[in-house]
Structure 1
Amino acid sequence: MAEDRTFIESLKGMRIGGRYVVEKVLGAGGMGVVATAKYPELQQRVAIKFLRPEHASNEILHARFVREARLAARVKSEHFVRVFDIGKLPTGVPYLVMELLSGHDLADELVANGKMKVETALEWVLQACAGIAEVHALGVVHRDLKPSNLFIAEAAGKRLLKVLDFGISKESSAKVDGAPLTSTDNLLGTPQYMSPEQVRASKDVDARSDIWALGVILYETLTGKRPFVSDENATGELFAKVLYIDPALPREHEPSLPVELEAVIMKCLARDRGERYADVAALAEALRPFAREASHLHIDAVTQALTMKRSIPPPELDDPAPALGVATTTPDVKRSSGPSSRPTEQAPVTAMTSATGSRAREPKTSNKKAAFGLVAVALAVALVAFALTRPPAPMVASSPPPAASSVASSPPPVASLVASSPLPVVSSPSAAAPPPAPSAAAPPASVVAERPRAPFNAGIVKTTPRPPAAPSSAPAAPAAPAKPPSPGSLIEDRK
Structure 2
Amino acid sequence: MQNRIDNLQGTIVTGESGKRYRLSQKIDSGSQGVVYEEDSGNFVVKLYHEEFASNHVIEQLRFVKQVKLPPNFVPVEDLLCEPHVGFVMKRVVGHEPLDVYLLPDPKQPFYKWYNKEKGFLCRLFLGRMIATAFEKLESENLSYCDISGKNILVRTKNKASVQMIDVDNIYVAGRGNPGVLGTPRYIAPEVVRGLNTPDIFSDNYSLAVILYELLRVGHPYISDEIANGSPEDEAKALAGECDYISPENSTHLLPEDVVFTTRLKNLFSRCFKDGKFNRLKRPSAKEFEFALIEASNNIIKCPHCGAWHYPRKTGKKWNPCPWCDGESSPKARIQFYDFFFEGTDYQKAYCDFEKKSQPKATKKTATNSYVIKDDFKNRVPRFYVVGEKSYTMGASVAENCFSIYSKNGTCTLVNDGLDMPIKIKHYGSTNFTIVDKDTHCDLKNGDTLFFEIGDDSPATIVEASNQQFGLIKMAMFMEV
TM-score (norm 1): 0.47
More strand by share: 2
The structure with higher relative contact order (CA 8 Å, sep 6+) is 1
TM-score (norm 2): 0.48
**Higher Rg of the two aligned structures:** 2
